[in-house]
Structure 1
Amino acid sequence: MPVSFPMSIAEFLDALPVKSVEFDLPEAVQTSRTAGGEILPEDIGTRLWQGEVMLGRLLPYEALDAQALIDLMRGAGASFLAYHTRFPHPRQDPTGSIIAGASPQIAALDGGDARLISLKGLTPGYALTRGDYLSFTYGSNPLRYGLHRVQETQVLADGAGTTPLFEVIPPLEPGAVIDAAVTLGRAHCKAVIVPDSVQTGRQSKFLRDGMSFKFMQTLR
């Protein structure tokens, strides 16, 4: 049966024998210098998540299975959902058990500042801390995936499970709406494999080691 894209976390990333995943949010900035020595920065585009997936030591047939999955993802139009496997849940809820059963949603947005968001539907007193991830979908045709990282030292939900406005990066893209469902466990973005980044590793007598690939977020 043909696969559909983006492939889910279970179908792709969690199906690979991942050793580590690196996440980065590089700047999308250019600078110019004035005759007086002043440096003038300017945003030139949307900041997109990127990173690298590294696999562990694999037996021959494990490597064959992993390579088949990765090769499927190297075609035009292929995509998958990527999350930071080292930090799948918020820091104060490392197993996701506190938020289990809750249904987080966007409570409020600030029309004048795309860095600000408020959540509702959390467990009363639920804590988010700097570095925690959250994601949600928005738009249609295509459906877009927003992945953001909390920038406040701590954000606490009140007794009704609603937070104040807090800052995230990157800024929210146009299209985010109030009441959209928010993911805190395995918060993810839609990603594609960077062309020419796949490393197939080296095969010893019994094991293959060093398989990896780089990825970049896509909003389409």
Structure 2
Amino acid sequence: MPVTFPMPYAEFLGALPVKSVEFDLPEAVEMSRTAGGDLLVAAIGARLWQGEVMLGKLNPWEAQDAQALIDLMRGAGSSFLATHTRYPYPRQDPTGSVLGASTVQIAALDGTDARMISLKGLPVGYALSRGDMLSFTYGATPLRYALHRVQDAQITADSSGVTPAFEVLPHIAPGAQVDAAVTLVRPHCKAIIVPESTQTGRQSRFMRDGMSFRFLQTLR
């Protein structure tokens, strides 16, 4: 049946025998130096997530299946939902059981400070920690996927399930809306495989080892 992009976690990243996924949020700045020795740094664009997916040792059939999936994703227009497989849940809810079926939403955004966000719909006393991730969608045609990392040491939901405002990185893009649904379980961004980054690994008599690819968040 025809593939729909971005491919959901279960159909691509979750279907690969992943050994590790690394995420990075590199700076998007340019720097210049004045005659007096001052360093001038300016932002030149949105900060986008990037990283690398490493697969484990594969038998020949596993390697063939993985290569077919990866090659599909290397085509123009292909994309998938990238999530940090090592940290699928918030730190203080390592199985997601406390969150359960809660419907989490954006409670408030700061119109003057794109770093700040508040959530609602959480269990009473639910805690988020520095390094936890959250995601939501915004915009239309295209639908954009935002992935943010909590920067405050700890945020706790009050008796109404609402958090105080807290800081996230990267900054929240224009277009994000109050009441948008927020994902805390396998939060994700839309990503593409970086061209010419795929490594097919080495084939021994019985196993293939070292298959990997790099990915980059896309907002389109």
**What TM-score bracket applies, with the shorter chain setting the length?**
over 0.9
Q: Which residue of 2 aligns with 1:43?
A: 43
Q: Which residue of 1 aligns with 2:108?
A: 108
Q: Which residue of 2 aligns with 1:206?
A: 206
What is the deviation of 1:119? 0.1
Q: How does 1:83-122 map to 2 (within 5 A)?
A: 83-122=83-122
What is the deviation of 1:183? 0.2
Q: Which residue of 2 aligns with 1:153?
A: 153
Mapped to 1, the partners of 2:38 and 2:208 lie a distance apart of 51
Secondary structure of 1:10 counterpart = helix
Which deviations, in whole Å up to 9, do the C-alpha atoms of 1:92-145 show, x marking residues without a partner?
001111101211000000000010000000010000010000000001110000
Which deviations, in whole Å up to 9, do the C-alpha atoms of 1:143-185 show, x marking residues without a partner?
0000000000100000110001100000001110000000001
Q: Which residue of 2 aligns with 1:78?
A: 78
Mapped to 1, the partners of 2:37 and 2:86 lie a distance apart of 42
Q: Which residue of 1 aligns with 2:186?
A: 186
Q: How does 1:121-200 map to 2 (within 5 A)?
A: 121-200=121-200
Secondary structure of 1:199 counterpart = coil
Unpaired runs of 5+ in structure 2? none
TM-score (norm 1): 1.00
What is the deviation of 1:35? 1.0
Show structure 1 runs of 4+ deviating over 6 A.
Answer: none
TM-score (norm 2): 1.00
What is the deviation of 1:52? 0.2
What is the deviation of 1:217? 0.1
Mapped to 1, the partners of 2:103 and 2:211 lie a distance apart of 37
Secondary structure of 2:201 counterpart = strand
Amino acid at match of 2:208: R
Identity of aligned residues (%): 73
What is the deviation of 1:41? 0.5
Mapped to 2, the partners of 1:2 and 1:184 lie a distance apart of 29
What is the deviation of 1:211? 0.1
What is the deviation of 1:20? 0.1
Q: Which residue of 1 aligns with 2:59?
A: 59
Mapped to 2, the partners of 1:28 and 1:144 lie a distance apart of 19
Amino acid at match of 1:145: Y
Q: Which residue of 1 aligns with 2:18?
A: 18
Mapped to 2, the partners of 1:88 and 1:41 lie a distance apart of 34
What is the deviation of 1:2? 1.0
What is the root-mean-square deviation of aligned Cα atoms in Å?
0.4
Unpaired runs of 5+ in structure 1? none
